Structure 1
């Protein structure tokens, strides 16, 4: 996948998912779809994510996900990962 510039507000991402809390750890999964307007219409793809996370405090967390794109599932499964360290407001 190659990066592209997206004008703010032109591309939107919606998703629905589940999260299973097990104390400080949690499992999560979701499926979404991108929607864009104008020249950015090529962004219409549907990612699916699953992962695990850990809460360090009520606000700080870390998370590791594996992602795939439904339109190119065989080419993307097991090849896209994201790691997050964050703070929830």
Structure 2
């Protein structure tokens, strides 16, 4: 099991968020959006669904049911991958 980071996000979830931030990810338009990274279905769709439902990622624009559209980070998603402030 991975150690949790940033409000409960593990290494895999953070890597998925970074892939979205790098413009390498797509979401399917559906109630349970599937995440594709570099054109390949993500191996952890459960986490992809959580990232979407928790408001960390979203489709860049609306599309037809089942259509893949670019994924983008929300403000909360950007905050989740922001470097921690340096200790004083």
For normalisation by structure 2, the TM-score amounts to: 0.28
Q: Indicate the structure whose relative CO is greater, using CA pairs within 8 Å and at least 6 residues apart.
A: 2
Higher helix share: 2
Higher strand share: 1
